[in-house]
Chains A and B, each alone.
Chain A
């Protein structure tokens, strides 16, 4: 599987931001924001996706490789959790 990166995508305006939906990418809709002239959204995409977006006129900031933010393997047992909550 192609490695992915957490990115921020900058669009020229709100319309361009919404048109990102046509790229069929994993974009985090709740992060869409507009501050002054900066319309942006965060997402998790591959480097070829970055190239596609740049070619289409978007500016992309690569924030972090996916592994840097993956903590799904850090799990607690029920016993550990109960102790931490003062339940046992």
Chain B
């Protein structure tokens, strides 16, 4: 299928909102583009409530990267069709069962801004245009050159000039100031307005990469003083590999980025075997002013803002792939982004939100973030849970009795940890947990999830008559987690 025009993308969004009014809401963004085009986002959700997590997908930031807006529109359409028709989403070799899609729509707010830069796309697709235009269409004062690189215009080390240019004639022109462009201000508005957003993926082309922060320099987890807000390091950033400066990130966040990135990679690979590479954005070319680093950095700049796990997905192997290849890439994008939604979901919240009180859920969240995420063994389990969340959700959605047992165990575990992890774990609880894990693992043989469940059953022996924290410490003594295992650790998304 050829590429959607700017007008067709707007039309498709309107079509979805009209055809699926119970699921899709058109969100008009506050500012038109520099050439005056209206810009809309979509919100896909069924239901509302304070505990719902949001995810934001961006497309079309760079004008010439044509396949990505089409991919986001396709994803929105497939989700609606699956939800209303109770059909699986089949993406080459990757299938998302209808039950999984339903759970996602029922428990999450999925926001999509498929075409951030409509002026650029219009110019790229115009007979008199230029197919390789990257920027927006800003008329730059004092210059004959048009356009600002929108993905260098966000407020993250914008003044540093790292990986950007102050020359309007260059493709990575950052603009006169951070957020000088209405198109980037619209993205900021989305994050400011929908404060439940906990994850963001900005879909670009090309190189088959899943990129996570940081983009300005190497990442480290030991020296909080080396951070993008510290002026003592101005001038030292932007030279990866030199050791003079490395951007700080909390270890659990780094681990989560890697775990969820790997889950996206695996989902994409299942479509047709293309293995995207998961890596920090900086690697060889440092950048500043990108949407990903800005979105993640917001909670550091302002601790009142929510933490947003933000990625850049670089799809495919060229900007404008031919039809058949574009169709495959669209499948890959749909798989990767659906998987990312599932990684953001909290298993307990998704399955037990209706059965547990807010206080019980808060207790479990606190246990996850304050106990499990701070233990090497706990992080390893959390990372594996992130990876297997879709399978676990499917299994629990399909078996009401099993789901009931899971909720019961969660409630008891929540009671244990609600008082600061001072209560010891009764032996009968570990016994029932063991039976639950056994039944959950039936038929899973030697699959990765089957092995994980067997491992969990074995590890339960460390807990009777100890507090959960003591049990984790015992496991750490028995089987130390290798220090160089960042891909095997992680935490679910934050509260």
Contacts and interface: CB of A to CB of B under 8 A. Distances in A.
Nearest to A34: B284
Quick one: which of B4, B81, B312, B322 has the most chain A CB within 10 A? B4
Interface of A is mostly: mixed
A14 B172 CA distance: 20
A81 B1 contact: yes
Interface of B is mostly: loop
A28 B129 contact: no
A29 B285 contact: yes
A18 interface: yes
Contact of B285 (A24, A32, A87): A32
A67 to B, nearest CB: 9
Given A24-B167, A33-B284, A34-B284, A72 B125 contact: yes
B474 interface: no
B15 A82 contact: yes
Ranked 4 nearest A-B pairs via Cβ: A74-B2, A78-B11, A32-B284, A72-B131
Contacts of B8: 75-78, 81
A34 B279 CA distance: 13
B320 A72 contact: yes
Q: How large is the interface on A (under 10, 10 to 19, 20 to 34, 35 or more residues)?
A: 35 or more
Contacts of A59: none
Contacts of A78: 4, 7-8, 11-12, 15
B171 A26 contact: yes
Interface string A48-59: 000000000000
Quick one: which of A17, A31, A32, A71 has the most chain B CB within 10 A? A71
B436 interface: no
A72 B241 contact: no
A75 B320 contact: no
A24 B165 contact: yes
Interface stretch (B204-212, B227-235, B364-372): B204-212
A81 B15 CA distance: 11
B80 to A, nearest CB: 9
Interface in B66-84: 66, 74, 77, 81
Contacts of B170: 24
Contacts of A34: 284
A73 B1 contact: no
Nearest to A44: B132
7 contacts: A28-B206, A30-B285, A32-B283, A75-B5, A78-B12, A84-B1, A87-B81
Interface in B418-454: none
Contact of B206 (A30, A73, A74, A81): A30
A39 to B, nearest CB: 7
A87 B320 contact: no
Interface string B283-309: 111110000000000000000000000
Interface in B94-126: 124-125
Contact of B19 (A21, A69, A75, A87): A87
A85 B125 CA distance: 22
Contact of A4 (B132, B171, B209): B132
Nearest to A25: B171
A86 B81 contact: yes
A48 B77 CA distance: 46
Given A39-B284, A84-B1, 4 more contacts: A30-B209, A31-B207, A74-B3, A82-B15
B362 interface: no
A29 B129 contact: no
B3 A75 contact: yes
A66 B322 CA distance: 14
